[in-house]
Amino acid sequence: MPLDDGGRRRWAEQNEALAAQGLRVLALAGKETGNLQEDPYCDLVFEGLVAMEDPPRADVRSAIAACREAGIRVVMVTGDQPVTARRIAQEIGLFDSDREEPITGRDLEDGTVSEERVIFGNIRKFVIYLLSCNTSEVAVVGMATVVNAPLPLLPLQILFLNLVTDVFPALALGVGQGDPQAMKNPPRDPVEAILPARLWWRIGGYAFRRSPRNRSKVP
């Protein structure tokens, strides 16, 4: 007999009721076939639910309390479904109220990807900024040396520029919060370099604009 929507709803409610008791719930299904080439996961017959109790160790609650007294924030990462995780977290004193929600595997995955994108974006901004600053200085000094002209920047002036205009702005770019829309962007090519060709053109443009000669024309 096919499992209709009403049957699915009743079994889902039963799963919720068992999980709310802190039990780990597994759904069982099977099939009989004489064809070994057949897809083993197609046309399965639902057999029922199995609930297992795996209570936490007795010293977990006291260990969590000791960590909190030491100023350590304790989190629980679990593969259980949220209802089971919430009940276990309440039993061990990890949650203080019913309003708190556990972090599921999907939440953890999204958070990890988001952090990775923000970190990568900050590194890229940091590198672009530093290269554009230093490229302009190297280019100006290099051209002056080639044409045997007086140095436009003395060593101490370069050090001062690096200290004032490079360090603190680059540090701010490196620890920024990142783009809040980062998770809406398409995935980045895993073999893409930190600085692909299109960004080297941008660095060259920034370096030209930041050169002392061009900055002197700004009113």
Q: What angle do CA 203, 184, 178 make, to 5 degrees?
A: 50
pLDDT, position 99: 55
Whole-model pTM above 0.85? no
CA dihedral defined by 77, 79, 83, 89, rounded to 10 degrees?
-30
Output the tens digit of pLDDT for each of the chain's 219 residues: 577 888 889 999 999 999 999 999 999 999 888 888 888 888 888 899 999 998 888 888 888 888 888 888 888 888 888 888 888 888 888 876 555 566 666 666 666 777 778 888 888 888 888 888 778 778 878 888 888 888 787 888 878 877 777 777 777 877 777 777 777 778 778 788 888 888 888 787 776 666 555 544 434
Distance between CA atoms of residues 173 and 166, nearest Å: 11
pLDDT of residue 216: 43
> What is the distance between the alpha carbons of residues 121 and 137, in angstroms, rounded to a whole number?
25
Q: Give the separation between CA 63 and CA 18, rounded to whole angstroms.
A: 27
What are the two backbone dihedrals, phi and then psi, of residue 27, each rounded to the nearest 5 degrees? -95, 135
